[in-house]
Amino acid sequence: MRLHKQDVFPGYMTQAIGFFKDQPAGQHILDLPAGNGKLTAALRDLGHTVTPADINLQKSDFVYADMTKRLPFDDETFDGAICLEGIEHVLNPFLLLGELIRVSKVGGHVVVSTPNIMNMWSRLQFLFTGTFYQFHPAQLHDYEPEEAVDRFHISPMSYHTMRYLGEYFGADVAEVRGDKAKRGFLAPLYMGIQVAGSFWSRSLYFSKKYEQYRERNARIHQQSNSWPAMTGRSIVMVFEKKRSTRVVPTDVFLSEDAVKAA
């Protein structure tokens, strides 16, 4: 990380700190990936107990944790978990979200941020190029499968995908936040597009065919059409764990020897 950015808190990090600032002090929070530890330090300043985890072990109190594998924590260990700009870097983001929820207590919160492929700028980019904002093949390096490297932005995750997975793993979306608007000067254009598509959007969510899910669909419509979801450079989703679950697939954690034996 460049020196002039080491002490800078980007918008998505500020949002995560702001959320836990409003929570009772003394919560035990998992910070993954912990990076250089500045988020951990900020949360500790708020009175929380934080377990920083990463593969880099940059600080002496870091716990080694690989986001592509089962996390080295028991079920329901933490009152909260934070994963900022990490889920898009792994081949199996579904597994990672399930693990973050698994290690959180019922009633706890999981805060996840990722580049927002649903913002208006990303929609325009996709319309004209077929690629999402911050996700295009030209920026990727060609690595061999066995190389243990950061493969960068390989897994675009939308609000809809993360909401569905959160529910599958036992958590509801409590809040949708965003950081600085991407190309905010185009706000009049964004608003025009949103208004122009509002009838089409409502016809999808409130069709009589889906009347049994009307309450759920109304919540999805409201969250996915909120200003943070429509404009934020990153989308910040706050999940609240509602129930214990053991549905995280265990076969993906098999060792090489177990795979060969199978």
CA 103 centroid distance within chain: 15
pLDDT above 70: percentage of residues in the chain = 91
User: For the segment 183-196, what is each residue's pLDDT rounded down to a tens digit?
Assistant: 999 999 999 999 99
pTM of the model: 0.90
Does pLDDT of 255 surpass 50? no
Query: Taking residues 6-21, what's their average pLDDT?
Result: 91
**Amino acid identity for residue 227 in this structure:** W
pLDDT band at 247 (very low <50, low <70, confident <90, very high): low
User: In angstroms, what CA-CA distances link 175 with 113, 140, 152, 158, 235?
Assistant: 12, 32, 26, 15, 11
Q: Please count the other Cβ atoms lying within 10 Å of the Cβ belonging to residue 68.
A: 15
pLDDT band at 135 (very low <50, low <70, confident <90, very high): very high
User: For the segment 23-47, what is each residue's pLDDT rounded down to a tens digit?
Assistant: 999 999 999 999 999 999 999 999 9
User: For the segment 86-99, what is each residue's pLDDT rounded down to a tens digit?
Assistant: 999 999 999 999 99
pLDDT band at 146 (very low <50, low <70, confident <90, very high): confident
Angle formed at CA 25 by CA 19 and CA 30, multiple of 5 degrees: 65
In degrees and rounded to multiples of 5, residue 145 shows phi and psi of -55, -35
Does pLDDT of 77 surpass 60? yes
- SS3 of 238, please? strand
Omega within 30 of 0 (cis) for the link into 33: yes
105, 76 contact by CB (below 8 A): yes
